[in-house]
């Protein structure tokens, strides 16, 4: 059976994730309320603006339900979503769900070169990655597994059932990363 995977649809680029999930063989569902969360086996938190997302999560009373969800089910955070999953956020210090033992620094690549398409190394193979005002992962906890690197820094990390990418895998045709998350959701459910 196809797993049902939610995409947090409060703000940011959630539609591209829905298409990527469909390509990876999952049923994609918009998540806007705690009730929606109860309907899904895993969740993607998309890119966007993490400060705005935090405000909306607060307004919708979704922050705690989301943390509770992440204690039981897999979450994949991309870009702003990665910032929300981390245990420590720098530049500036910011509240987060703390579901992964990671330190991330927001807007880490500077103003001039803040968005680019780059070649990364994905488990020993080349892949293309789109970075948009991306954060950098400055520390990975002992249970984290680095799956991809760019300029020798981690850009895709897995820890138990969760996963984060500092880039936008939903914006390239390469389905490998969404497929991996769909697999994780299948295993967990
Ligand atoms: N710069 C954004 C933030 O700090 C993240 C950018 C993105 O998600 N593309 O929240």
Given this model, what pLDDT does residue 109 score? 83
Give the mean pLDDT of 65-90: 98
Within 13 Å of residue 130, how many CA atoms lie on the same side as its CB? 10
End-to-end CA gap in the chain: 11
Residues with CB under 6 A from ligand 1: 47-50, 79-80, 83, 106-107, 132-133
69 DSSP 8-state letter: H
When pLDDT is cut at 50, 70 and 90, the band that residue 111 belongs to is low
Q: Does residue 113 register a pLDDT over 70?
A: no
The more confidently predicted of residues 115 and 53 is 53
Å from CA of 145 to ligand 1 middle? 22
- Of 44-58, 84-98, 114-128, 136-150, minimum mean pLDDT range: 114-128
183 flagged as catalytic: no
Mutate to test the pocket of ligand 1, among 48, 76, 169 (most ligand atoms within 8 A of CB): 48
| CATH code assigned at 170 | 3.40.50.880
Mutate to test the pocket of ligand 1, among 13, 47, 136 (most ligand atoms within 8 A of CB): 47
19 flagged as catalytic: no
When pLDDT is cut at 50, 70 and 90, the band that residue 1 belongs to is confident
Bond preceding residue 85 cis, omega within 30 of 0 = no
100 and 87 in contact (C-beta within 8 Å)? yes
Strand blocks (E) in 80-180 = 86-90, 100-105, 115-122, 125-132, 136-140, 145-150, 153-159, 162-165
- Of 82-86, 93-97, 171-175, 182-186, minimum mean pLDDT range: 171-175
170 flagged as catalytic: yes
For ligand 1, atom 8, name the residue with the nearest CA: 47
Cα(180)–Cα(145) distance, integer angstroms = 14
Å from CA of 180 to ligand 1 middle? 23
Return the H-helix or E-strand segment holding 4: strand 4-8
Give the mean pLDDT of 158-173: 97
**Structural domain harbouring 138:** 4-188
Number of structural domains the chain divides into: 1
Percent of the chain past pLDDT 90, that is, above it, reads 90
Among 80, 84, 93, which Cα is nearest to 170's? 80
38 and 74 in contact (C-beta within 8 Å)? no
For ligand 1, atom 1, name the residue with the nearest CA: 133
When pLDDT is cut at 50, 70 and 90, the band that residue 89 belongs to is very high
Q: Does residue 112 register a pLDDT over 70?
A: no
Q: How far from the centroid of its chain's Cα atoms is residue 135's Cα? A: 12
Max distance between CA atoms of the chain, in angstroms, equals 46
Q: Active-site residue among 79, 158, 162, 178?
A: 79
**C-alpha to C-alpha distances, 31 to 38, 45, 131, nearest whole angstrom:** 10, 10, 24
* Ligand 1 atom with the shortest distance to the CA of 80: 8
Write the pLDDT tens digit of every residue in 25-38. Answer: 999 999 999 999 99
Cα(114)–Cα(135) distance, integer angstroms = 10
Given this model, what pLDDT does residue 103 score? 98
Question: Is the overall model pTM greater than 0.85, yes or no?
Answer: yes
């Amino acid at each position: 059976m196809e797993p049902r995977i939610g995409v947090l649809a409060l703000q940011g680029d959630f539609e591209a994730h829905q298409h990527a999930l469909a390509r990876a063989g999952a049923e994609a569902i918009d998540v806007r309320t705690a009730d929606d969360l109860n309907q899904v086996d895993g969740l993607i938190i998309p890119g966007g603006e993490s400060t705005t997302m935090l405000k909306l999560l607060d307004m919708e009373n979704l922050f705690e339900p989301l943390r509770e969800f992440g204690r039981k089910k897999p979450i994949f955070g991309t870009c702003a979503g990665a910032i929300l999953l981390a245990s420590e956020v720098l530049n500036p210090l910011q509240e987060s769900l703390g579901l992964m033992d990671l330190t991330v620094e927001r807007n880490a690549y500077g103003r001039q070169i803040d968005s680019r398409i780059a070649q990364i190394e994905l488990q020993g193979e080349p892949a293309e990655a789109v970075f948009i005002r991306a954060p950098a992962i400055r520390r990975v906890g002992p249970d984290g597994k680095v799956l991809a690197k760019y300029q020798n820094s981690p850009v895709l990390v897995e820890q138990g059932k969760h996963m984060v990418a500092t880039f936008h895998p939903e914006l390239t045709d390469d389905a490998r990363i969404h497929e991996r998350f769909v697999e994780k959701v299948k295993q967990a459910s």
